[in-house]
């Protein structure tokens, strides 16, 4: 398994102004291994990978490839050294065919004419190495997310990558697609490729990786063979704490509490793409009914694209319902605007953080204060949006939610995903909502931050907040929710008590199998 | 826990803008040289013409007051994500509205008359742009296209009105009646065209800054403009923000047009706009839609234009030189982020590893 050394990074250091993203990072990759790189958000994983892909130049440290020192000053150089990267957000042209995407920028044949047949043949050659069978002439945008990811991998291999970096590749996949991806990675490794697998999900790390390297606060704190490690040891290394547990979140059980959110026969059109997170489309809702009581967490499970986006958006008022009623604390809100629903106590954590959760081009304060500004009266349009009192409140909130930003005027786009999500959740919880709709609340957020967010949600339920947790992550649903509703093709096909059911039962309903 | 210092912010802005200005100055020197004149003395003669004595300075900046107001208006629209390139049409409409109120109503108490004229102009411009914003918000009509086309409609409509129903019969065609004296801003510096409108414009500039950068309304516009998905999800009325951003944008363009009438022309005529609406769009672009940037660029443009006049008088080089230069500035400002950044990067690499490290840090942060 452990072939000759492909890559060696020693003492990598990279700072952005006052922020030290990589302090002293060591990382090695051998041919034929899958090497997991884990760490909390802000630990320096992304910076390290960007250094490796030639997007950042390190302030100090050495990079060796095949035992020889290498300078990676641009992605082109990195590709020249055989480094390939599969980004979390795919870099594919949806209207192009598979072969066009795979060969894009490096088309076979002349510089002038695109030779489709040759491109298709070259694409097939790469596919043969992976024992994949895709149609090179298929239009990429019409493929499933998992298949698009394979096209990304093909693209990288087509350029001769021997070092393959995958950034959170399973975030968009179902459990069975994840298993398929892992088989693919294993077969690549057996062929001599070195794979760097960046993930937050430790079960996956243990399922696929030969070695694990843990970063914490810009330093390599652990690097060992997976077989010699336990989950607890990795979690401790990641967080620096030994009190993190991965079991069910402690919450007081709900007695016969009043119903807060009541959804009755909700139908929506199957409109549009689902927010652009994974390029797929989301089907509409077909007569969905559910209720959430005060202090209760109801999970909504389902494979992405089975109506989750439609459910979240129609509940909060971003998408019109075709039929059905939504009541909040007894008041019908089906015809209300987002603003009116929020004024009545509906909180919303959107699934797409960058598009809907935070003002990506704004500051932390602007992201936090949206609720307060919403409540500003009509006659005070010209008053300050962020007066001193609100700025003080924002500073307190940043401290109270342990959001790691230099100050409240820090740009949102410069923050880690976990910190961005803390801003979203802080904003919503600070409004003390009667009902909170969480859509994929921890997607792309790491363990430490997840624990923190779960704790905050549990606190909110303790004071009677009703929570609807829409998540594609079954772990999340089992750890948090009291009941689980399964969506399949826009219909609520099952409703189960989380403590009395099993993953396999829920998984079966997710695939539309009765039982 | 402090904001970046004002000096640092201003310095960074100047650094970015200064680059384009330096490119423009170098090109100006080159063009003058190519025409066979000594570059430096010629430019100095031009600057003397623009800024040589108080009355020259007054003339230089008095010309720019309507332009500045219109540019601030376009910038307000940009901040709300609305690309109002119908400024020229709104300037014409505002000018006509002010001229009509100024000529047919009154003479009145001067302050009141001024106010009514400005109000009429802002309502005219605001209603037009607000209407285009409504089309965008509710029917998805792209405001770039609709506002662009509205220019032709409105200018032709104003031309028709000035040649037809509103024509001053005592004059050649294409001109309305003179407004009452009470509808003209008083001159504050004798023998110049610098009027009390200066105070109004400075107040408006301050107001625009507060409105866009600090106020609740500005927050809604900026969020709608830069992050529409976020704005909708947190309950901002995105359609309303789009319409109101356009309406305010158009109202300011209308006031810009009114100032043309009320500070110098004294009436509406068919050639009154002379393209200040288009210049306003360009200034809003190079000023990155920030009120302070727009103000600085508008002042620079006034000097540039007046200097070109002076150069023309001294040497016969056509004053259109200023149009060439403003175009170069825009291209340079746009290229700063792309092509020239690559060149700067190359230079940095030649500078050796030590220097490269120190300099590459801020570039990385900006990414």
Give the per-residue SS3 of A286-353. CCEEEEEECCCEEEEECCCCCCHHHHHHHHHCCCCCCEEEEEECCEECCCCCHHHHHHCCEEEECCCH
Measure CB to CB from residue B233 to each of A348, A362, A395 and give the nearest one: A348
Interface of A with B in 73-92 (CB under 8 A): 73
Contact (CB<8Å) A370/B223: yes
Asked whether residue B361 carries a pLDDT value surpassing 90, the answer given is: no
Least confident interval from A87-101, A121-135, B325-339, B342-356: B342-356
Supply the pLDDT for residue A2. Answer: 52
Q: Are A328 and A341 in contact (CB under 8 A)?
A: yes
For residue B366, the tally of other CB atoms under 10 A from its CB is 9
pLDDT digits 0-9 by tens, B129-162: 999 999 999 888 988 899 999 999 999 999 999 9
Distance from C-alpha of A458 to C-alpha of A460, rounded to nearest angstrom: 5
Is A358 near chain B, with CB under 8 Å?
Answer: yes
Q: Determine which of A339, A387, A425 to mutate to test the interface with B (most B C-beta atoms within 10 Å).
A: A339
SS3 A8: strand
Name the DSSP class of B261.
I
SS3 B307: helix
| Long-range own/partner contacts, residues B146-151 (CB < 8 A, 24 or more apart) | B146/B86, B147/B83, B147/B84, B147/B85, B147/B86, B147/B89, B148/B85, B148/B86, B150/B86, B150/B89, B151/B85, B151/B86, B151/B88, B151/B89, B151/B277
Beta-sheet strand order (sheet of A68-69): A68-69, A60-65, A5-16, A19-30, A219-225, A211-216, A34-39, A194-198, A163-167, A83-86
User: A361 contacts in B (CB within 8 Å)?
Assistant: 226-227
CA atoms within 13 A on the CB side of A73: 11
User: B357 contacts in A (CB within 8 Å)?
Assistant: 57, 59
Asked whether residue A67 carries a pLDDT value surpassing 50, the answer given is: yes
Is A398 near chain B, with CB under 8 Å?
Answer: no
Asked whether residue A444 carries a pLDDT value surpassing 80, the answer given is: no
Measure CB to CB from residue A16 to each of B226, B237, B361 and give the nearest one: B361
Which residue carries 């119903």 as its tokens?
A259
Closest residue in chain B to residue A338, using alpha carbons only: B235
Distance from C-alpha of B290 to C-alpha of A224, rounded to nearest angstrom: 53
pLDDT digits 0-9 by tens, B167-208: 888 887 788 999 988 889 999 888 888 899 999 999 999 999
Instruction: Output the six-digit token pair for A91.
Output: 């870099």
Name, in order, each residue with C-beta under 8 angstroms of B16's C-beta and a sequence gap of 6 or more. Answer: B336
Domain residue ranges in chain B:
6-336
Residue (of A200, A221, A234, A235) closest to A418 by Cα position: A200
Measure CA of the first residue to CA of the last residue in chain A; give whole Å. 42
Distance from C-alpha of B34 to C-alpha of A186, rounded to nearest angstrom: 68
Distance from C-alpha of B158 to C-alpha of B93, rounded to nearest angstrom: 7
**H or E element that contains A490:** none
Q: How far is A59 from chain B (nearest CA, A)?
A: 6
Distance from C-alpha of A494 to C-alpha of B92, rounded to nearest angstrom: 64
| Confidence tier at A243 by pLDDT (50, 70, 90) | low
Supply the pLDDT for residue B360. Answer: 36
Supply the pLDDT for residue A271. Answer: 55
Residue B280 phi/psi, 5-degree rounding, is: -65, -40
Contact (CB<8Å) B361/A15: yes
Distance from C-alpha of A153 to C-alpha of A92, rounded to nearest angstrom: 11
Supply the pLDDT for residue B340. Answer: 54
Residue (of A280, A360, A266) closest to A312 by Cα position: A266
CB pairs under 8 A between A and B: 108
Contact (CB<8Å) A337/B237: yes
**H or E element that contains A152:** helix A145-158
Supply the pLDDT for residue B105. Answer: 87
Asked whether residue B301 carries a pLDDT value surpassing 50, the answer given is: yes
DSSP string, B181-220: GGGSPPBSSTTSS-BTHHHHHHHHHHHHHIIIIIBHHHHH
Supply the pLDDT for residue A474. Answer: 82
pLDDT digits 0-9 by tens, A145-191: 788 888 988 998 888 889 999 988 887 677 778 888 899 999 989 98
Measure CB to CB from residue A17 to each of B214, B216, B365 and give the nearest one: B365
Least confident interval from A147-156, A248-257, A452-461, B113-122: A248-257
Interface of A with B in 136-195 (CB under 8 A): none
Is A15 near chain B, with CB under 8 Å?
Answer: yes
Contact (CB<8Å) A395/B227: no
Range with top average pLDDT, A496-510, B2-16, B234-248: B234-248
For residue B130, the tally of other CB atoms under 10 A from its CB is 22
Measure CB to CB from residue B226 to each of A341, A357, A361 and give the nearest one: A361
Q: Are A357 and B233 in contact (CB under 8 A)?
A: yes
| Confidence tier at B353 by pLDDT (50, 70, 90) | very low
User: A409 contacts in B (CB within 8 Å)?
Assistant: 3-4
For residue B191, the tally of other CB atoms under 10 A from its CB is 9
Contact (CB<8Å) A59/B361: yes
Residue (of A313, A314, A317) closest to A277 by Cα position: A313
Contact (CB<8Å) A366/B236: no
Q: Determine which of A338, A342, A347, A436 to mutate to test the interface with B (most B C-beta atoms within 10 Å).
A: A338
Contact (CB<8Å) B362/A376: no
Asked whether residue B364 carries a pLDDT value surpassing 50, the answer given is: no
Distance from C-alpha of A360 to C-alpha of A370, rounded to nearest angstrom: 13
pLDDT digits 0-9 by tens, A23-41: 889 999 999 999 999 987 6
What ipTM was assigned to the predicted interfaces of this complex?
0.78
Residue B256 phi/psi, 5-degree rounding, is: -55, -45
Supply the pLDDT for residue A343. Answer: 93
Architecture of the domain delimited by B6-336: Orthogonal Bundle (1.10)
Instruction: Output the six-digit token pair for A413.
Output: 């786009």
3-state secondary structure A37-66: EEECCCCCHHHHHHHHCCCCCCCEEEEEEC
Closest residue in chain A to residue B214, using alpha carbons only: A384
Interface of B with A in 178-207 (CB under 8 A): none
Is A378 near chain B, with CB under 8 Å?
Answer: no
Measure CA of the first residue to CA of the last residue in chain B; give whole Å. 23
Distance from C-alpha of B18 to C-alpha of B242, rounded to nearest angstrom: 32
Q: Work out the burial of residue A503: count CB atoms within 10 Å of its CB; fewer than 13 is exposed, 13-18 middle, 19 or more buried.
A: middle
Burial string for A177-189 (b: 16+ CB within 10 Å, else e) reads bbeebbebbeebb
pLDDT digits 0-9 by tens, A282-301: 678 989 999 999 999 999 99
Is A381 near chain B, with CB under 8 Å?
Answer: yes
Write down all domains in chain A, each with its CATH number in brackets: 5-239 (3.40.50.300), 259-373+392-510 (3.40.50.300)
Arithmetic mean of pLDDT over chain B: 85
Instruction: Output the six-digit token pair for A261.
Output: 């959110």
Interface of A with B in 26-65 (CB under 8 A): 56-57, 59
SS3 B16: helix
Distance from C-alpha of B257 to C-alpha of B98, rounded to nearest angstrom: 8
Distance from C-alpha of A313 to C-alpha of A319, rounded to nearest angstrom: 5
Residue (of A74, A53, A105, A50) closest to B345 by Cα position: A74
Range with top average pLDDT, A375-379, A495-499, B108-112: A495-499
Is B12 near chain A, with CB under 8 Å?
Answer: no
Supply the pLDDT for residue B359. Answer: 36
Least confident interval from A2-6, A106-110, B11-15: B11-15
Supply the pLDDT for residue B354. Answer: 39
Sign of the CA dihedral with A127 first, then A130, A132, and A138 last: negative
DSSP string, A70-86: ----SHHHHHHTTEEEE
pLDDT digits 0-9 by tens, B42-91: 888 889 999 988 889 999 999 999 999 999 999 999 999 999 999 999 99
Q: Residue A233, Cα to own-chain centre: how many angstroms?
A: 24
């Amino acid at each position: 398994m452990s072939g000759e050394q492909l890559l060696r990074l020693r003492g990598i250091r990279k700072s952005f102004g006052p922020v030290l993203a990589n302090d002293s990072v060591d990382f090695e990759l051998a041919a034929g291994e899958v090497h997991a790189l884990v760490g909390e958000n802000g630990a320096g994983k992304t910076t390290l990978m960007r250094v490796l892909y030639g997007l950042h130049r390190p302030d100090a440290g050495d990079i060796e490839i095949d035992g020889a020192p290498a300078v990676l000053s641009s992605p082109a150089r990195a590709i020249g050294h055989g480094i390939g990267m599969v980004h979390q957000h795919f870099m594919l042209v949806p209207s192009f065919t598979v072969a066009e995407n795979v060969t894009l920028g490096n088309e076979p044949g002349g510089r002038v004419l695109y030779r489709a047949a040759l491109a298709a043949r070259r694409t097939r050659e790469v596919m043969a190495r992976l024992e994949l069978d895709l149609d090179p002439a298929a239009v990429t945008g019409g493929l499933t997310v998992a298949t698009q990811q394979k096209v990304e991998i093909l693209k990288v291999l087509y350029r001769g990558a021997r070092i393959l970096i995958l950034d959170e590749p399973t975030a968009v996949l179902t459990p069975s697609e994840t298993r398929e991806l892992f088989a693919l990675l294993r077969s690549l490794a057996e062929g001599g490729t070195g794979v760097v697998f960046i993930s937050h999900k430790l079960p996956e790390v243990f399922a696929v990786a030969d070695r694990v390297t843990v970063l914490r606060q810009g330093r390599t704190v652990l690097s060992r063979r997976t077989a010699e490690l336990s989950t607890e040891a990795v979690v401790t290394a990641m967080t620096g704490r030994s009190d993190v547990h991965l079991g069910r979140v402690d919450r007081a059980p709900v007695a016969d509490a009043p119903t807060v959110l009541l959804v009755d026969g909700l139908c929506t059109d199957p409109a549009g793409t689902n927010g652009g997170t994974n390029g797929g489309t989301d089907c509409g809702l077909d007569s969905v009914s559910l209720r959430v009581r005060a202090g209760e967490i109801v999970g909504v499970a389902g494979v992405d694209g089975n109506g989750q986006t439609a459910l979240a958006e129609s509940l909060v008022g971003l998408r019109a319902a075709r039929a059905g009623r939504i009541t909040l604390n007894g008041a019908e809100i089906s015809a209300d605007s987002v603003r009116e629903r929020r004024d009545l106590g509906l909180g919303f954590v959107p699934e797409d953080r960058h598009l809907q959760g935070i003002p990506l081009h704004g500051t932390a304060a602007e992201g936090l204060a949206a609720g307060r500004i919403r409540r500003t009266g009509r006659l005070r349009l010209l008053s300050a949006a962020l007066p001193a009192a609100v700025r003080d409140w924002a500073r307190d909130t940043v401290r109270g939610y342990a959001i790691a930003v230099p100050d409240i005027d820090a740009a949102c786009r410069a923050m880690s995903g976990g910190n961005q999500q803390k801003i979203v959740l802080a904003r919503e919880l600070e409004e003390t909502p009667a009902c909170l709709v969480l859509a994929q609340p921890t997607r792309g957020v790491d363990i430490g931050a997840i624990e923190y967010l779960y704790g905050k949600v549990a606190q909110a339920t303790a004071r009677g907040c009703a929570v609807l947790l829409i998540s594609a992550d079954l772990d999340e649903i089992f750890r948090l929710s009291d009941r689980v509703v399964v969506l399949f093709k826009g219909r609520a096909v099952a409703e189960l008590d989380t403590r009395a059911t099993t993953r396999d039962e829920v998984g079966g309903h997710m695939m539309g199998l009765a039982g | 826990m402090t904001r970046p210092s004002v000096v640092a912010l201003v310095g960074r802005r100047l650094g970015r803008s200064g680059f384009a200005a330096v490119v423009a100055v170098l090109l100006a020197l080159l063009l003058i040289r190519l025409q066979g004149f000594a570059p430096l003395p010629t430019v100095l003669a031009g600057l003397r013409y623009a800024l040589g004595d108080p009355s020259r300075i007054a003339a230089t900046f008095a010309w720019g007051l309507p332009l500045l107001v219109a540019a601030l208006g376009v910038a307000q629209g940009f901040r709300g994500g609305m690309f109002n390139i119908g400024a020229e049409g709104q300037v014409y409409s505002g000018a006509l509205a002010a001229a009509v109120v100024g000529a047919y109503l009154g003479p009145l108490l001067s302050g009141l008359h001024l106010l009514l004229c400005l109000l009429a102009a802002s309502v005219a411009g605001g209603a037009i742009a607000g209407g285009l914003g409504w089309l965008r918000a509710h029917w998805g009509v792209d405001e770039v296209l609709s506002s662009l086309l509205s220019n032709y409609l409105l200018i032709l409509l104003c031309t028709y009105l000035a040649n037809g129903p509103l024509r001053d019969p005592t004059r050649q065609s294409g001109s309305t009646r003179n407004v009452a004296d009470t509808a003209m801003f008083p001159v504050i510096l004798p023998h110049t065209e610098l009027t009390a409108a200066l105070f109004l414009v400075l107040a408006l500039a301050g107001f625009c800054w507060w409105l866009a950068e600090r106020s609740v309304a500005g927050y809604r516009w900026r969020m709608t403009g830069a992050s529409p998905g976020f704005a909708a999800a947190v309950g901002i009325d995105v359609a309303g923000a789009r319409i109101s951003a356009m309406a305010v944008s158009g109202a300011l363009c209308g006031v810009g047009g009114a100032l043309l009438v009320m500070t110098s022309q004294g009436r509406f005529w068919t050639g009154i706009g002379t393209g200040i609406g288009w210049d306003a769009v360009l200034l809003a672009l190079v000023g990155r839609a920030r009120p302070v940037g727009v103000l600085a660029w508008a002042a620079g443009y006034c000097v540039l234009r007046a200097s070109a006049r002076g150069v023309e008088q001294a040497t016969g080089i056509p004053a259109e030189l200023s149009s060439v230069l403003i175009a170069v500035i825009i291209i340079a400002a746009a290229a700063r982020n792309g092509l020239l950044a690559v060149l700067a990067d190359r230079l940095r690499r030649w500078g050796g590893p030590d220097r490269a490290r120190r300099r590459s840090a801020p570039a990385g942060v900006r990414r």
